[in-house]
Amino acid sequence: MFSPQGPSPRELAIQALSSVERGYDLLAPKFDHTPFRTPDAVLDATADALRPLGPFGRGLDVCCGTGAGMRVLEALCQGRTTGVDFSAGMLAQARRAHPAAGWVRADVRALPFAGAFDLAVSFGALGHFLPAERPALFAGVYRALRPGGLFAFPLGAPPPVTSGWYWALLGFDLAMRVRNAVWRPPFVMYYRTCPLHAVRDDLTAAGFTVTTVPLMGRRADGSPRYRLVLARKPHAEIDRPYRRPA
Ligand SMILES: C[S@@+](CC[C@H](N)C(=O)[O-])C[C@H]1O[C@@H](n2cnc3c(N)ncnc32)[C@H](O)[C@@H]1O
């Protein structure tokens, strides 16, 4: 899981007691040696699944971290690629690895772009947002895309209750809830807060048309272990279904 170049248990503990932004600033120099960095196999499977839908013009990596998603954007986008993240430390690593890309420091709950991108991707970051924060995140991605633009991200299926992973993720989330109840600043990272049906509903409410394709792996029941969520911004706002004001 952690290579010898990765963070020590003490460093991880200090990071986990920090805010999300500060925690990633501290982790940044060693982040690529942790299991939190999205593996190339997932990135390549995503690029393969998106290729028939491209080519794309300009690309955005939401919560780019050290720039893992550039592997996908650079393979698919003919225009400029940009990464956005609020951790200056992570962005510094990303800039060093991909000097030709654009790097923007911003909180993605208030994305500072409008109609600028044809493809947006995001990897390994959805658990950092409480369900109540997803509408602002998805509205910002929607705004950032051109009409007809695509927002794509992998989403894992929940492990079955009989598997060790089910209990490991449940234990992690419970530990984080206890940590966040007794310690400030909070570190929001939960594995079990973004089931497909809830994510799909939030994307649809933001105006996207949502489909999924199988991405990687199979569960015992034959369903995909990972799906790629494909959220399309309609070509014209007029396509957007009427929603009665609350
Ligand atoms: C687990 S890392 C994933 C990084 C990269 N996408 C990857 O797959 O390797 C999560 C990233 O999300 C960023 N992040 C979390 N909450 C954020 C927010 N509200 N605004 C901007 N970035 C955020 C963190 O700084 C961190 O770089």
Span from the CA of 125 to the centroid of ligand 1 (angstroms)? 5
pLDDT per residue of the chain (246 residues) written in tens, 0 to 9? 667 888 999 999 899 889 999 999 999 999 999 999 999 999 999 999 999 999 999 999 999 999 999 999 999 999 999 999 999 999 999 999 999 999 999 999 999 999 999 999 999 999 999 999 999 999 999 999 999 999 999 999 999 999 999 999 999 999 999 999 999 999 989 999 999 999 999 999 999 999 999 999 999 889 999 999 999 999 986 555 556 655
| 109 touches ligand 1 (CB under 6 Å) | yes
Dihedral of the CA atoms 159, 172, 202, 57 (nearest 10)? Answer: -90
pTM for the model stands at: 0.94
Bridge partners of residue 151, in order along the sequence: 120, 231
State residue 61 phi and psi, 5-degree precision. -105, 115
pLDDT for residue 242: 58
What DSSP assignment string belongs to 69-113? THHHHHHHBSS-EEEEES-HHHHHHHHHH-TTSEEEE--GGG---
Asked if 118 and 77 touch (Cβ cutoff 8 Å), the reply is yes
Q: For the domain 39-239, what is the CATH code?
A: 3.40.50.150
What DSSP state is assigned to residue 56? B
Atom of ligand 1 nearest to the CA of 31: 9
Query: Do 118 and 146 form a contact (C-beta atoms < 8 A)?
Result: yes
Tokens read off for 61? 């990596």
Nearest CA to ligand 1 atom 13: 63
If one residue of 31, 86, 155, 176 were mutated to test the ligand 1 pocket, choosing by the most ligand atoms within 8 A of its CB, it would be: 86
Q: How deeply is 35 buried, as exposed, middle or buried, from its count of CB atoms within 10 A (0-12, 13-18, 19+)?
A: exposed
